[in-house]
Amino acid sequence: MTLYAAPICLGCLHFHRSGIVTADTLAGKAPPPTGYCDAFPIDAGIPLLIWRSAVDHRQLVEGDRGVRYQPKTPDDARYAAVLFCDATTAKKGAP
């Protein structure tokens, strides 16, 4: 089984969750909740490499329409900094 870091999308001002967890979701009978963002609208979807935190969306990503990750809180900024090894921001906690 492959594990991935929680996507920084969850802590972004531009992320919009869609769907809810239900008994059917947990049983695998319904799709899991998903999301979309202002950079990648629901018809395009968030690219898998961003969702799996393999790409740092604090930087330009092709097709993002100029919308980048913006942390909701200082903790979200620190998480992104740690995830992408930005030691200066991680220590300061600055967004």
Distance separating alpha carbons of residues 73 and 55, to the nearest angstrom: 20
What is the pLDDT at residue 68? 95
Total number of domains constituting the chain? 1
Burial of 12 (0-12, 13-18, 19+ CB in 10 A): buried
β-bridge mates for residue 18, sequence order = 34
Range of the domain at 43: 8-92
**Does residue 82 belong to any structural domain of this protein?**
yes
Distance separating alpha carbons of residues 4 and 31, to the nearest angstrom: 19
Per-residue pLDDT of 32-77, as tens digits, reads 566 788 998 777 778 888 888 889 999 999 999 999 999 999 999 9
**Does residue 2 belong to any structural domain of this protein?**
no
What is the pLDDT at residue 42? 72
Sort strands 15-18 and 34-37 into parallel, antiparallel or unpaired: antiparallel
